[in-house]
Amino acid sequence: MKRLLSSRAGSFRADFTASLVVFLVAVPLCVGVAVASGVPAELGLVTGVVGGLLTGLLPGSSLQVSGPAAGLTVLVFEAVKEYGLGALGALVLAAGVLQLAMGALKLGRWFRAISVAVVQGMLAGIGLVLIAGQLYALTDAKAPGSGLANIGGVPALAAATVGSGTALSALAVGAGTVAVLVLWPRWRRGARVLPAPLVAVALATTAVWALDLPVARVRVSGLLDAIQPPGMSDLGRLTDVGVLGTVLAFALIASAESLFSAAAVDRLHDGPKTDYDKELM
């Protein structure tokens, strides 16, 4: 009995510590993905809270952590630009219903038939557009808009940055953050205690505050005020062909990312394997 209690206490301590680390990393990540997606930072935090609570109660994988997916950033940005922020809730709701239906129909394992090269190519293309867009945020500049326009405007952005003290300050903070993300894991003792994203965000935030640098800051006014449930007009747009295509893209890409990650994790351990249908739901 004592051994059982000791084992449970040890597991609780390990789970609690892991949860704390995930929380500290997920909070700035939720904000970053939300801002990159063209929505208020508050919505990223609300989504992280709701998603964490629900997925924590319905785990399909014993070791995978659910969180914001950067791979959907470009799709969300384009959807908000095309249909408006009010319609985003309806799009995500419909994509979630589609995922529930696919899980109930036992379609989870069918995703394993998709070539990894296809998904990697898709994510590489999304990543290229995402990087091009974030170069503007890195220098506190406004992006032109579309992916091709952002990529084409990089030379002009570089020229404008050289002549602006504010842009150079923002670039220095961003470059320093990237450097910490890359170099911190090489210090194994420190990396065991604190994850690189947490250290990078803490150091960059402290530097901006201590030096009073003239860079743009993320502003959060209130979580409850930011919640905007979709109205009937937003739900009515789900009959449009273009909207349905976006819903399908949301559901398939999110599902593929999640299930491929679960399959990769399963190859790294000998414990309980992923229930693909449950993980999909």
Amino acid making up residue 61: S
**Residue of higher predicted confidence among 180 and 24:** 180
Task: Report residue 9's pLDDT band, with 50, 70 and 90 as the boundaries.
Answer: low
Q: Decide: 7 and 13 in contact? Cβ < 8 Å.
A: no
Task: Report residue 179's pLDDT band, with 50, 70 and 90 as the boundaries.
Answer: very high
**Which tens digit of pLDDT belongs to each residue from 42-94?**
888 888 888 878 877 777 666 666 666 667 777 888 888 888 888 888 898 89
d(CA 93, CA 217): 30
Query: Which of 270, 264, 281 lies closest to 64 in space, CA to CA?
Result: 264
Query: Which of 45, 125, 39, 48 lies closest to 77 in space, CA to CA?
Result: 39
Q: What is the mean pLDDT of the chain?
A: 79
- Give the three-class secondary structure for 3: helix
| Sign of the alpha-carbon torsion through 220, 221, 222, 228 | negative
pLDDT at 56: 74
d(CA 185, CA 176): 15
pLDDT at 69: 67
pLDDT at 242: 83
Q: What are the sequence ranges of the domains in the chain?
A: 2-140+216-280
Q: Which two tokens stand for residue 217?
A: 């800051």
**Which tens digit of pLDDT belongs to each residue from 198-209?**
788 888 889 888
Query: Which of 83, 82, 57, 52 lies closest to 68 in space, CA to CA?
Result: 52
Q: Which two tokens stand for residue 147?
A: 């992916």
d(CA 176, CA 197): 12
Q: Decide: 234 and 90 in contact? Cβ < 8 Å.
A: yes
**Which tens digit of pLDDT belongs to each residue from 111-170?**
766 676 776 777 777 778 778 877 888 888 887 766 777 778 888 888 888 878 888 888
267, burial (CB in 10 Å: exposed 0-12, middle 13-18, buried 19+): exposed
In the block, residue with structure tokens 């320093």: 176
Taking 70 as the threshold, does the pLDDT of residue 4 lie above it?
no
- Give percent of the chain with pLDDT exceeding 70: 88
Q: Decide: 223 and 31 in contact? Cβ < 8 Å.
A: no
Task: Report residue 192's pLDDT band, with 50, 70 and 90 as the boundaries.
Answer: confident
Backbone angles phi, psi at 140, to 5 degrees: 60, 35
Question: For the chain, first and last CA: distance in Å?
Answer: 36
124, burial (CB in 10 Å: exposed 0-12, middle 13-18, buried 19+): exposed
**pTM for this entry:** 0.67
The helix (run of H) or strand (run of E) holding residue 205 is helix 196-211
**Which tens digit of pLDDT belongs to each residue from 243-254?**
888 888 888 888
